A = this chain, B = another copy of it.
Amino acid sequence: MNSEENKLILAAFKVGVNNVIFSVDSHHHQLLVLLVKREEKFFNNQWGLPGTLVRNGESLEDASQRILSEEIRVDNLYLEQLYTFERPNCNSKTSLDSFNIRHLSVSYFALVRFDKANSLGINNYNRTNWYMIQKVPQLIFDHNQILDYGYQRLRNKLEYSPIVFEILPDLFTLNDLYQVYTIILGENFADYSNFRSRLLKLGFLIDTERKVSRGSGRPASLYRFDAEAFAPFKNKPFVFV
């Protein structure tokens, strides 16, 4: 087959999924991302996003969920497609991909509860670990780029969609909520008292009147998120912030 003929032939692909899985550790005031150490010879123990190749009979999202449940034992709280990346010239570089098989990587984005997700390190010899977002090392392939893209998306989502409530317990204090926002968006996005009044005025946070005391100081009210009352704000931008 000469090169002209080759050009008109349809490319054959294997498809992988990569997950950008975020979690918030409120206790240490840190945004975390899940990474996996790649011990295959080509990767030389570099870290990368948790991912896998798509198998027969499973959809892309299935594959993505499989990673979530294998690496951290967690029900999906929030999962969304991010972007499709092309692995550039992969076939010519690694002997794994002989025979002109090209690779595509569809990345997904997830936000999981830290307490539920924190049961890792078992049975995987520290192969999987949470990294603080500021301390992520150089990753394999283009995974740093994918991560950046996911981080961007996370911050956007936070501003107009109620994902936070997926990682907060059913009952939470307004300070809990505020903490998550500052951890992800940085300290200087709004004053706490203004954040409070703005959100409460919107009417989808219900005061249960129940109080919880955290050390000294006045006990805080526990609130819950009312999904029905939120409905009118769906797709309306900048509900929060």
Contact of A211 with B by CB under 8 A: no
Interface residues as binary, A1-18 with B (CB distance below 8 Å gives 1, 0 otherwise) = 000001111111111000
Whether, in the assembled complex, A55 has its beta carbon less than 8 Å from a beta carbon of chain B, the answer is yes
Asked if A167 is at the interface (CB within 8 A of a chain B CB), the reply is no
User: Nearest-CB distance from A2 to chain B (Å)?
Assistant: 12
Q: Enumerate A9-65 residues with CB–CB distance to B below 8 Å.
A: 9-15, 53-60
Instruction: Report chain B residues within 8 Å CB of A238.
Output: 237
Are B14 and A13 in contact, with the CB atoms below 8 A?
yes
Q: Is the CB of B84 within 8 A of A59?
A: no
Is A83 a contact of B86 with CB atoms below 8 Å?
no
Residues of B within 8 A of A174 (CB): none
Residues of chain B lying within 8 A (CB to CB) of residue A53: 10
Pick the contact of A54: B10, B15, B56, B58 (CB < 8 A).
B10
CB pair B10 A13 closer than 8 Å: no
B-contact bits for A201-239, CB 8 A (1 contact / 0 none): 000000000000000000000000000000000000110
Given A8-B56, A10-B14, A10-B53, output 9 extra A-B contacts at Cβ < 8 Å. A7-B57, A10-B56, A11-B56, A11-B57, A13-B104, A15-B104, A60-B84, A81-B84, A84-B84
